[in-house]
Structure 1
């Protein structure tokens, strides 16, 4: 199984790529345009050498910050129409990096699904939230080759094994939400982690609420 930290490196590299001033100017220019931009157009607009513009545009494309498309600008088709121009446009990929790792989109999806289920079926929202969280956790733990520590790292929990055999989670992926809506978010998190343990077939640990300052509200402890 690949290192889950490596799985997040592309996002970090993509954000770092924008730290170069010329590259950032090119990115900002391209994403503001209503249509894809050619190398020549970008170079002219920003007063750059074509070779410089091409180099940075390709770097942005390599980092999935821009998408590359090919179009014939002449309007001609068939033999003699020439090669399609290489054009750049805003990438459809969403890139986000937060330190410490946060998963607010995941929480938002779970909460939205719970509200929709409650509206459609009359199930209490909290009950629907617990079910959807545990169901998602089970799905996350099911892929063949997944391991507990790796999965927890991948989703930002920063697990640390303790001498007593428990696993403390040093980061809460839902920190701001858990701070302001503690009962709702912490029990959602509890059921999500229970689902992960179930999906992995993990019998050496149980997820339990154990609020501790500076840690996730859930701990993984050996069964009693």
Structure 2
């Protein structure tokens, strides 16, 4: 998740902090069909003009979408203007701090299970291959003119919640995006983390950065160092 994405998620969550707005959102979200302004206002027990204001704010933020339809079922002259209806949009708001990537973890593990089942591949090998491939495909920012390979990889990993911190000739990853899973499945998650970061390093062609397992309490199990430090 980039900084802009995080800002958007926070904005979406903060919009629902207002109790009236949240109530209107829940009315619309719980309906199997699109909801009109008057129906939403009645269900939320607020005036129609108040409902209009808050519903349109939710549309602006992308939490609701709109459509227009004649509720009478009639058409042609005299049928009246189509009513503005609201329904829940396809946008998902999922905010955790520190940032987590459980959707990514679920995708990687599901893909690994399919790979293991289809090719009789050991599960850990399948996880390693799937995570490495994913790391090579993650969107990364362009290489900065200033900074070395460690800084370049750190900048890319920042977008995915790893919270990289440069300490001399190594980069610590202060946050594990899969923290809750790691607490119960450490070997599996550490294998996935290492392969994912290695895939990012390979995709960026940062030969001056080497990912290695270096577990410690309170941070991700992977650190980045120059290759000669890693060998030492």
| TM-score between both structures, scaled by the size of structure 1 | 0.92
Is 1:28 matched up with 2:26?
yes
> Pick from 199, 207, 210: which aligns with 1:195?
199
Any stretches of 5+ residues in structure 1 without a counterpart? Answer: none
* Cα RMSD (Å): 1.7
| TM superposition shift of 1:177 | 1.0
| TM superposition shift of 1:79 | 4.6
Is 1:157 matched up with 2:162?
yes
Query: How many angstroms apart in 2 are the aligned matches of 1:188 and 1:149?
Result: 18
- Figure out how many residues of one structure are paired with residues of the other and give that number: 220
The 3 A distance-change label for structure 1 pair 77 and 140 is same
C-alpha distance after superposition, 1:140-177 (max 9, x if no partner): 15x672653332111100011112x2111100001111
Is contact 2:20-2:44 (8 Å) kept? no
Query: How many angstroms apart in 1 are the aligned matches of 2:213 and 2:164?
Result: 15
Paired residue for 1:170? 174
1:1-224, aligned counterparts within 5 Å? 4-140=2-138, 145=142, 147-163=152-168, 165-224=169-228
Q: Which runs of 4+ in 1 moved over 3 A?
A: 78-82
Moved more, 89-98 or 187-196: 89-98
Is contact 1:207-1:221 (8 Å) kept? yes
Q: Say which SS state the counterpart of residue 41 (structure 1) adopts.
A: helix
| TM superposition shift of 1:83 | 2.8
Query: How many angstroms apart in 2 are the aligned matches of 1:7 and 1:150?
Result: 15
Query: How many angstroms apart in 2 are the aligned matches of 1:32 and 1:7?
Result: 26
Query: How many angstroms apart in 1 are the aligned matches of 2:23 and 2:225?
Result: 50
| TM superposition shift of 1:80 | 4.5
Paired residue for 2:147? none
Moved more, 45-54 or 71-80: 71-80
